[in-house]
Every structure is written in C-alpha cells, then in structure tokens.
Structure 1
Amino acid sequence: MKPSFFNVGGLPRCVAATALVLGALLCAPHADALELPRARSVPGGVALVDLGPALVAPQASVEGVPVLVSGRPGGWTAVVGIPLEAEPGERQLEVRREGAPLERVRFAVTPVRYAEQRLKVAPGKVDLSAQDLARHERERVRSAEVIATWSAVAPETLRMQPPVPGRRSGSFGLRRVFNDQPRKPHSGMDIAAPTGTPVVAPAAGRVIDTGDYFFNGHTVWLDHGNGLLSMYCHLSRIDVKVGEVVATGTRIGAVGATGRVTGPHLHWSVMLNRSMVDPALFLADRGG
C-alpha cells in the first residue's frame, strides 16, 4: 500500500504543513516588534499607521522620505513623524510590499494649538550681523545633511529615558517671540538643569555629528536607526566623538548655556523621517 499524501480533511500534507508554518510565523514574536511611541496625529506628532500582516516587513515612505516600520509578520505599523508646519487634513503614505504593486494608505492629521512664549535676548541673537548670518547659513546646510541620515539598522527601542533630570522649562511646539519678533515654533523639549549636569543618551545610538552652532551652541546628534534621530543643544561640554556607538545611559555631554539661551538648560529634539516631533511621545513614563 502506497503511503498517503493527504490528511483526513482532504488537504495535501505539504499544503497543511505550509499553513502551519505560516500560522506560526504570523503569531510568533518578532525581533522588530518594539513598543511604540504614543500616537498623536497632529503637526509635530506621531501617526501610527496599521499596515496589516506580511511575511516580510513592508517599506513605507512619505513624499519620498523613508518611514520607520515596526512589528512582526502578524501585523506591521508605520511610525510616521508629522512636520510641525504640516497643515491639518489628509496625508498619504506610500507602501511597497514584496511582490505587490505600490499601495497608498491615507491617514488624518488633526489640528493642534500650541502655547506662546515671549523672551528677551541679546539683540545680536535676533538681528544677525552679516558675518553671523553667513555662519548660520553654512550651519544650516550642514544640519540638512545630518537630518537626511538614514541607517538600515533598526532602533533597539522606541521608548526613551529623559536625557537629564530637571523641570521642563520649554515644551515642544511652543511659539516663541524673541524681542517681539515671532519665530518658528519650538522644535524640542527644554529641560532646566544646572551647568555641568550630565546629559545621557536616552536610547542606544551612534554619534553622527558634534559641533558648536550659532543658535544651538555645543551640540550632539545621535542616530538610533531607521530615520529616528535625536539632538542635544546648549551643552557646556561634549563627551563623545563622531562615529562612537553609545548605549542607553551613556554620558554624551553636560548641560550648559552655549548658543542662543537665557540660562542653562538642555534642548532635546527627536526626529522621525526628517520631521521634528514631540520627545514626550517617546518617554518611557508616557509623560507629556
């Protein structure tokens, strides 16, 4: 008698085995399944867009800029940074799946109203001299190159620790008016702390830039992977070098008052797909 290649239910055993393997893959934990930041689909926020199941992680982008995708075969999520200057309404995510045509997934951006703050600073920090303006333009070009960083290595985590203890002295999105002159909304979180207070990496990453900038003072940029970057400004000292890989909690510098400031504090920014987003959405304690 020849061996049977069919199960009792009539399915070929090879098909049944394949189904079992697929089921196991869809349900099993995956190394890329990270705890996600808090969703807030507003200008300067983070949209979590469900991409559904797939054996291979889909690729996603917004206006040609790659977007971080996290999850497991049973379900993938695009973690999309929304620019502060984005208009409320509908935005579009381009999704590429293995062996499938390009797909467009829409998500909504809702309005938000951020607070306003008026500050007095030295006139030279608002009305720039020709020399300072030229310096700022050079630095702006350099910053744009840093901001465009994309590394294929996925982040170890999407939950961060505060880089320094202290009171939040300036919230993300705050519309600042310097010497009665409106400026762009605040693109980070300010944490007040004494000069010299250690600043640590809130998550593992690689140092991709350090320097002394006109507005930001002594600055460090970290690349956490897949377009997730962070920036630390106004430092009194820098304790890392470009190319260095740091673990969560590694000292990267110290609080200071360099650049355009009214007192010692840390300015901390988080960027996703080249968009500055609210760092509070990434805090492990869900603060903010």
Structure 2
Amino acid sequence: MPTWAAETSSNQTELSEHGLPRASAVPGGIAILPLASATSPQPVAYFQGRRLMVLSHQGQWTALVGLALSTAPGQYHIRVQQAGRANYHVAFSVRDKRYRTQRLRIKNKRFVDPSTEDLKRIWKEKALIQSYFRHYIKQDHPIQAFVRPTPGRRSSSFGLRRIFNGKARKPHSGMDIAAAAGTPVQAPATGTVIAVGDYFFNGRSVFIDHGQGLISMFCHLRKVSVQPGQTIQRRDRLGEVGATGRVTGPHLHWSVSLNDARVDPALFLNAATKSK
C-alpha cells in the first residue's frame, strides 16, 4: 500500500484546454475527477494502489484515472490525501464497452506458439516492460495535446480482441498506424526516454515518460534515434517505422499507459488529428 504523505507543489502543472484527454470511464478509458480548489495544497491520489496524475485545471485540482481493459463495469473510488484535511474518497462509475474482434494471420508460427526458450525470453521481457510502465516522475512535464507519432492509416484500434492464426490472444493494448518502413516517428509530447530495447513481440521499441505515471511506448521500429535519459520535446524524432517483432507488415504500434493501465491513445488526440 502507498504511504499517504501530504505533498504540496509551488509549481502547479496547468492543464490547458487542449491538453486534457477526453474523459471516457470505460475499460481502457480515462476517468477525470475534480478534487478541490487549486488554491489549496496539491492533493495526492491513488487508485488500486497506483499513484494518479493530479493537475490543476480550470481552478481545480483534477485527478486522471487510467482504467485497464480488465476493469469490470461498476462503482469505484480513489483515495485522496490533502494537507489540512482528513483522507477522503471520490467515487466514480465505469461503464461497459464491447470491443470488436480482429483476426490476423502470422507467417512465423513462433510468434503464435513460442518455444520454451522463447517463453523464457518473453517472461523476462514482460517483467522489464512492466517496470517501465510503473515508472513515476513526481516532477512532471506539463501535459500537452498529443500529436500523432507518425502519419498513416490507423490499421488496428485500441482494445480489439485479437485472434492470431485461429488462437485467441490478449486484447490489443495500443493503436497501430500503417506506414511505409522508414517513415519518421516523432514524440507526441515532451518527456524523457526511460528505455530502448529489442523485444520478442514488440521488436525495437522506445519508452517515454511524460510525467506523473503517463508513459508512451513505440514498437516495431526499424531504427531508433534516441537513447535512455534523453529529454525530448514534442515532435522530436524517435526513430523510423519498421517491421520488427510480431507483425504482419510495417507499422507503428503506439501504447499509452496511465497509472500502469493501458488506455486508448485516441483519447489524447483531438478529432482532427486522430482521423488522419
């Protein structure tokens, strides 16, 4: 369980009108909850043991709650502590959402039925990737409206129930953008590169921490142009679209994680941007 220590900040992170992701309290979505006046000390909030992003928006401290795809519909609450008052809870509801099914054919059968040696590597990489998604920087970067990381057609949307070669696998935890190999991939927002690697399923990948538990992952890259520890700005080049890892062709897989819950990247894009 987290330590419920009161915390204040003189450098409040202002959430612009164009920087607030769209609220969608469904599995794979985001609940946006007002907490208290922004003239009061900054609250600290948690959901299911994970610290939440808390930002100042329209004169109020606001909590952003990432909801995993496994979240069941129903009533939930977050726990909040703020200097000068007792701990309190803020309740919210999660609605149901049904995602479509996508059937894919993978030529390399190792990516559907991995060998024993492959499984050892996969489990090791899974633990490593999980640690990146749980990364948390208290001194966050101001959140921005995200830009699309690469041009192209959205070939697979978030949340699709996936079947590879007739076998059901985990739902799709990101957005796929089909583009030619070598197409530049850019940072959707300011952040810090926390990891770069080459993984069994994800291929060459980059992880960016945008602050307060907001993490982006970019997979299947042909080329990586950044290194761990590097501070990047919005639209900085991260690498190039490729076809490494488990793929059916060149594309970018983009995942967004908030408080260790994979959420729909489209919620961070405005309507004009996400349709391109």
- TM above 0.5, yes or no, is yes
| Residues 71 and 176 of structure 1: CA distance in aligned 2, closer, same or farther (over 3 Å) | same
Q: Deviations over 1:178-226 (max 9, x none)?
A: 0111111100000000000000000011000100000000000000000
Paired with 2:59 and 2:195, the residues of 1 have a C-alpha distance of: 37
Q: SS state of the match for residue 144, structure 1?
A: helix
Structure with the greater alpha carbon radius of gyration:
1
Offset of 1:67 from its aligned partner? 0.3
Aligned-partner Cα distance in 2 for 1:73–1:158: 15
Aligned partner of 1:33 in structure 2 is 15
The amino acid of 1:97's aligned partner reads Q
**Residue of structure 2 equivalent to 1:86:** 71
- 1:249 counterpart = 2:231: no
Per the TM alignment, residue 274 of structure 1 is displaced from its structure 2 partner at its CA by: 0.3
| Maintained 8 Å contact 2:125/2:199 | yes
Runs of 4+ in 1 over 6 A off after TM superposition: none
1:57 partnered with 2:39: no
Q: Normalized against structure 2, the TM-score is what?
A: 0.91
TM-score by length of 1: 0.87
User: Residues of 2 paired with 1:218 and 1:236: CA distance?
Assistant: 7
Tell me the secondary structure at the aligned position of residue 134 of structure 1. helix
Structure 1 residue 33: deviation in Å? 3.1
Structure 1: distance between partners of 2:186 and 2:270 = 15
Is 1:107–2:92 an aligned residue pair?
Answer: yes
Amino acid at match of 1:99: G
- Aligned pair count reads 260
1:188 paired to 2:188: no
Instruction: Please state how far the C-alpha of 1:155 moved relative to its aligned partner.
Output: 2.9
Does residue 265 of structure 2 align to residue 265 of structure 1?
Answer: no
Gaps of 5+ in 2: 1-11
Q: Deviations over 1:41-71 (max 9, x none)?
A: 0000010011131511111110121000111
Cα distance change of structure 1 residues 72 and 157 upon mapping to structure 2, 3 Å threshold: closer
Please say if residues 220 and 232 of structure 1, whose CA atoms lie closer than 8 Å, have aligned partners that are also in contact.
yes
The percentage of aligned residue pairs carrying the same residue is: 47
**Contact residue 45 and residue 63 of structure 2 kept, 8 A:** yes
Which among 168, 173, 179 is matched to residue 159 of structure 2?
Answer: 173
SS at match of 2:124: helix
The answer on whether the counterparts of 1:207 and 1:246 sit within 8 Å (CA) in structure 2 is yes
Aligned with 1:101: secondary structure? strand
User: Offset at 1:102?
Assistant: 1.1
- Change over 3 Å in CA distance of 1:31–1:131 after alignment to 2: closer
Residues 69-115 of structure 1, C-alpha deviation per residue, up to 9 Å, x if partnerless? 11159311111100011101011100111121111111100000111
- What letter matches 1:207 in structure 2? V
SS of the equivalent of 1:131 reads helix
Q: Which residue of 2 aligns with 1:201?
A: 187
Distance of 1:31 and 1:261 partners within structure 2: 38
Alignment check: 8 A CA contact 2:15 2:143 kept = no
Q: Which residue of 2 aligns with 1:19?
A: none
User: Could you tell me how far 1:32 is from its partner in structure 2?
Assistant: 2.4
Counterpart-to-counterpart distance in 2, 1:269 and 1:223: 12
Question: Does the C-alpha gap of structure 1 residues 73 and 124 become closer, same or farther in structure 2, counting only changes over 3 Å?
Answer: closer
> Helix, strand or coil for the counterpart of 1:37?
coil
Following TM superposition, by how much is the alpha carbon of 1:285 offset from its aligned partner in structure 2, in angstroms?
3.9
The corresponding residue for 1:128 is: 114
After superposition, what is the alpha-carbon deviation per residue over 1:201-258, rounded to whole angstroms, capped at 9, x for unaligned?
0001100010000000000000000000000000001000000000001000100000
Query: Does the aligned pair in 1 maintain the 2:13–2:142 contact within 8 Å?
Result: no
Separation (CA, whole Å) in 1 of partners of 2:42 and 2:57: 8
Task: Say if 2:224 and 2:238, in contact at 8 Å, map to a contact too.
Answer: yes
Q: Which has the higher contact order (CA 8 A, sep 6+)?
A: 2
Tell me, what secondary structure is at the counterpart of 1:185?
coil
2-side partners of 1:157 and 1:133: how far apart?
Answer: 37
**1:74 maps onto 2:59 in alignment:** yes
